[in-house]
Chains A and B, each alone.
Chain A
């Protein structure tokens, strides 16, 4: 039973570029949440996708967008990259979108913006 998988594991971009990160949820899960984790900080909620729609959003600008596909996998897109976007991006899946549902995290994508 595959857990949450994310790709790529590492990425280096320059300011102004765009990036797409991918996530496949744990088998049987239908909800995907994305988090940004800066070094030494806790994960910060970006948004959550359920039934192919964005259901909740954290305090992130519109440069951050996403998508969920019919197979529940998800993408996170970040446009016009800034140096401050350098972080570990974590995808978490759950069964259902309630905050009581346990989040299963992937290994993350480490994004470096130069």
Chain B
């Protein structure tokens, strides 16, 4: 079945360093969504990408959707302790109306 894979599974950085997580799908996605889950919290929607090659920015966060619409990335510039959490990508199964989540990248930061 369709899978959404994320790497790395864990990432530990020093505060101020950059961070990137990658998301890959086995099939073409009509759109991809990114969510953040703080420790002990629930997933919170960050952004949705729809167009091939799309790039969106939210302050220090940059999201990209691949040209083939099978991969995506989230890049955080100059991490802060508030960025701690697990970042999930999610894409719809082709032809269906349910989201498949990646296993997430857990970001920890050394202040």
A41 to B86, CA, bound (A): 10
Q: Is the CB of A106 within 8 A of B42?
A: yes
Instruction: Give the interface centre of A35, A43, A58, A102 by most chain B CB atoms within 10 Å.
Output: A43
CB of A90 within 8 Å of the partner chain = yes
- Whether B42 lies near A90 (C-beta < 8 A) is yes
Q: How many residues of B contact A (CB 8 A)?
A: 25
Across the interface, B96 reaches (CB within 8 A) one of A99, A104, A106, A107, namely A99
* Bound-state Cα–Cα, A113 to B93, Å: 31
CB A56 to nearest CB in B, in angstroms, measures 5
Cβ proximity bits B6-42 to A, threshold 8 Å, 1 near / 0 not: 0000000000000000000000001101010000011
A105 CA to B44 CA, complexed, in Å: 7
- Listed by A's residue number, 22 A-B pairs whose Cβ atoms lie within 8 Å are A33-B99, A35-B101, A41-B103, A41-B104, A42-B103, A43-B88, A45-B99, A45-B100, A45-B101, A56-B97, A58-B98, A97-B97, A100-B48, A100-B50, A102-B33, A102-B45, A103-B33, A103-B43, A103-B45, A105-B42, A105-B44, A108-B42
